Structure 1
Amino acid sequence: MQHSRSRERSPLLVLGVGGAGCRAARALIQSGFSGADVALADTSVPAHVPPLLGSETPILLQRAEPDEGSRDPPVASSGCREALQTTFARRTTVLILAGLGGRTANQFSPLAAQLAREGDALTAAVVTLPFSLMEGSLRTGSASAALSRLAAHCHSTIVIHHDSLLPSPGHALPHAALAVADDYQRVVAEAVSDLSEGRARLLSERVTGRELLENAGLGSALVRECIGESFVASVTSVLASVAEAPLMKPGGVLILLVRGAETPELDELERYRALLELRFSGERAILGWTPASGRSEQRSITAMMFPGRGPRA
């Protein structure tokens, strides 16, 4: 089913599940992302894996059919379980990428999260949900059910809603939004991996990025803005999008993560902290950053919101 080459494994594994998840995983590597192993899991995988995709041989998944009359998800074969468990061995963090709604992602994303969590890995997922009007209630309903099963096994699950990427509600041309979603998923995955592996530094917080993700729960990727010539204009654009989001419950956290940040920009970003916390009823606005590297990279700001679980005990 799956065999890793003999080599030292990275503690971080990025696993693409299903067609959309595998596409996002490939895009992640092609962007120059490093510091993690990448694996693809799908029902149809190429016999030859380009060296670009790193060290992990693809996992060939075999979909099971549900029992007639049963509402429970089908049980995966022992071979699929063993392949995933082998891939997860000796990982401290597993990041799952998937587009929920399809049968493969719906069935195997929750299973992958369960097995990674049972292996004591910090388990996070970045997933997309279908277009509600264009893909129909059956697909969106199955995606919601799969999300519930997935989130139950993940320390943190970040959702990208396809509907939010459309130019207007009910827009009839989703192709551009799908392309944006692929890029969006890649960038949010980079942000999550930076937080989990300690590459992202947090300003004015005593908690680490990993500790945040271990207790985050279910959240949403609100916006990703490329930093243009004006850093202030880019920040303002992000905050305008964040301001349209519903208020968080007590215990909620808003994370703004700047990739490729310069020191003067961090000073500028810190000034927005009090305004953000006022907007979100005194809850935490956490400002994180990864320093600018020597190589060429697309600098961006990613906003992620974890609404919280309601009133504090």
Structure 2
Amino acid sequence: MFRLSSSTAVMWRLRPLAASMRSKSSSSSPSSPSLKQKALKAMLNSANPTNVNGADVVNKSTKEATKLSSPPAFVLEPKKEETSVPKEQESIEQPNTPKLSKQPEILSPQQQQQSQPQSPPLPSFFNSPALHEFAPKIVVVGVGGAGNNAINNMIAKELHGVDFLALNTDAQHLSTALTDQRLQMGVELTRGLGAGANPDAGRMAAEESRDQIRERLDGTHMVFITSGMGGGTGTGASPVVAEICQELGILTVGVVTMPFTFEGTHRRRLALEGLDRLETVVDTLITIPNQNLFRLAGPKTTFVDAFRMADDVLLGGVKSITDLMTAPGLINLDFADVQAVMVGMGNALLGTGVSSSKVTNGDDDDEECDRAVEAAKLALDNPLLGSEWDIATAKGMLVNITGGPDMTLFEVDRAAQCVTEQVKDASANIIFGSAFDERLEGSIRVSVVATGIESHDSVAAAAAANPEPVKASRSRFF
């Protein structure tokens, strides 16, 4: 047991008396202490004879009096209060304290890319939105039922680098177009029921929607108008669309089909009349006679497959031109090159040939590049385009030769020579381009677009009208 001091024993005996005094003092005024309180203070002062200084005695006696209400706590040492250390002092390293090595932080690939030093920003010219306007905007406009089917085939075959616009007077057929850019012409005139194989109705429907067509084509650099001649909408509306393009200063190329012979003379007459009107308002016109499909079709070729072959020819005609501008090449052809060859050139002939014949190692030059020469000859001899056109009369020509990594310089030279030697006009504008395509490894593709050509009949008629003078020879007698 602990042994209490004399002062502590006195306070323990006075505990009941202090409790009763506190209860009575709570009811009395605190400003007038009672006699009992004074006596208690005197007894406490007598119990601590060492503390005789006034202020210390009063303070300590008051503290002891407040502790009388609770039993004595036998605590040898008071509990030390924890002192908080400011954050600024926590960051200060203590001397002789070993510094722990920090574990490297693992960053994600995106964070690593962000943490790498960035290259200095490009000048404002390269960040300008106007830089994207340098790429030519090419639109393929499908007019009528045949034109809508043609652009559907191009979209299905994933023709890139161009936009599509479907125009029709038949609302039901227009709804089948795969492009979002669709316009029903002549809503008030035809009520969405079509032109009824009447070219005049197709022309008036296009005139009714002239402002809407102009709005859709504004800002375009090159337009392909594809349609089938002989019907109502394609025959009548195509020349109106071409007129709008000419008013906007757009390079306009018509790629149209002519009807089969079995469709009758009336339809063929309408097709020829529409073709004559279209030829006067387009820069270049490419005509594909459907009758020539019999040169490729067999006895078991279905009617659907035959028209699909015609759509593929339309696709090849557009693709052979757009690839010259959109596909990167070793010798690039840009929009200005195409424009120089096709503006105001009239009738055109196009063809594409692909050959994968094995290259031989003979001494003969023709044997060394047989696949290049064969591809060039196939491009010049397209059975679907007919044989009535004379490529020798071409005033302009675009030649694009594409091959895989194994294509040699000698092959490119022989293919280009095989094509260009067909042109007789020494002043013809011939533009050449070449590109690599890894998908064509082992093969070579030659694309030719000849513009400003004349038919064999016109050449023969001109020759008959202007016969060459007969050179006089000196008689042997003189």
Is 1:42 matched with 2:187? Answer: no
Alpha carbons of structure 1 residues 161 and 75: separation in structure 2 relative to 1, 3 Å: same
- Give the deviation of 1:82 after TM superposition: 1.7
Where do residues 218-233 of structure 1 align in structure 2 (5 Å cutoff)? 218-221=347-350, 223-228=351-356, 231-232=371-372, 233=374
**1:125 and 1:184 mapped to 2: Cα distance?**
13
Which of the numbers 235, 239, 244 marks the counterpart of 2:376? 235
Residue of structure 2 equivalent to 1:3? none
Aligned counterpart in structure 1 of residue 263 of structure 2, from 130, 135, 146 = 135
Amino acid across the alignment from 2:154: L
Q: Is the 8 A contact 2:169 2:205 kept in 1?
A: no
> Alpha-carbon deviations, 1:130-160, whole Å to 9, x = none?
12x2122211121111111112111111111
Secondary structure of 1:189's aligned partner: helix
- After superposition, residues 73-222 of structure 1 pair within 5 angstroms as 74-76=203-205, 78-131=207-260, 133-167=261-295, 175=303, 176-195=305-324, 197=325, 199=327, 208-221=337-350
Q: Which amino acid aligns with 2:450?
A: M
CA distance in structure 2 between the partners assigned to 1:198 and 1:208 by the alignment? 13
CA apart distance, 1:217: 1.6
Task: Give the AA of the match of 2:276.
Answer: S
Residues 198 and 85 of structure 1: is their aligned pair in 2 closer, same or farther, counting only changes over 3 Å? same
Q: Distance in 1 between matches of 2:416 and 2:453?
A: 19
| 3-state DSSP of counterpart to 1:220 | strand
Q: What's the CA shift for 1:263?
A: 7.3
Cα deviation for residue 290 of structure 1 reads 5.0
The structural deviation recorded for 1:278 is 3.7
CA offsets per residue over residues 42-95 of structure 1, 9 Å max, x none? 122468678x62x52x111236799xxx99985336541122111111112111
Q: Name the counterpart of 2:395.
A: 252
* 1:305 lines up with 2:433 in the alignment: no
Q: CA contact under 8 A between 1:95 and 1:193: conserved in structure 2?
A: no
- What is the Cα deviation at residue 292 of structure 1? 2.3
Summarize deviations over 1:272-310 as a string: whole Å, max 9, x none.
434444433255565444542789xx9854443334468
Paired with 1:211 and 1:190, the residues of 2 have a C-alpha distance of: 18
Determine the structure 1 residue equivalent to 2:185. 61
In structure 1, distance between residues paired with 2:237 and 2:409: 40
The offset of 1:199, in angstroms, is 4.4
Partner-residue secondary structure (3-state), 2:347: strand
- Look up the equivalent residue of 1:28 and give its one-letter code: M
Structure 1 residue 30 corresponds to structure 2 residue 156: yes
Query: How far has the Cα of 1:25 moved from its partner?
Result: 0.8
Which of the numbers 401, 418, 437 marks the counterpart of 1:292? 437
Q: Quote how far apart the aligned CAs of 1:163 are.
A: 2.2
Could you tell me how far apart the structure 1 residues matched to 2:332 and 2:318 are? Answer: 23
Contact 2:395 2:425 in 1 (8 A): no
Partner SS state of residue 41, structure 1: strand
Matched, 1:12 2:157: no
| Candidates 419, 424, 427, aligned match of 1:281 | 424
Q: Which amino acid aligns with 2:217?
A: F
Maintained 8 Å contact 1:270/1:287: no
> Structure 1 pair 167/199, CA: closer, same or farther in 2 (3 Å)?
same
> Which deviates further from its counterpart, 32-41 or 9-18?
9-18
Q: Kindly indicate which of the two structures has a greater share of residues assigned to strand.
A: 1
Q: Separation in 2 of the partners of 1:104 and 1:177?
A: 22
Q: For residue 33 of structure 1, report the CA deviation from its aligned partner.
A: 1.8
SS at match of 2:255: strand
Letter matched to residue 97 of structure 1: T
CA drift at 1:14: 1.2
* CA displacement, residues 109-141 of structure 1 (integer Å, 9 cap, x when unaligned): 11100001101111111111112x212221112
SS in 2 for 1:76: helix
SS at match of 1:35: coil
- Rounded to whole Å, the distance in 2 between the matches of 1:137 and 1:262 is 51
Amino acid at match of 1:108: A
173-182 vs 100-109, which deviates more? 173-182
Distance 1:29 1:199 in 2: 18
Distance 1:276 1:126 in 2: 22
CA contact (8 A) 1:247 1:280 kept: no
Q: TM-score, structure 2 length as denominator?
A: 0.51
Q: Count matched residues.
A: 293
User: How far apart in 2 are the matches of 1:276 and 1:118?
Assistant: 35
C-alpha deviation, 1:177, in angstroms = 3.2
- What code does the residue aligned with 2:219 have? R
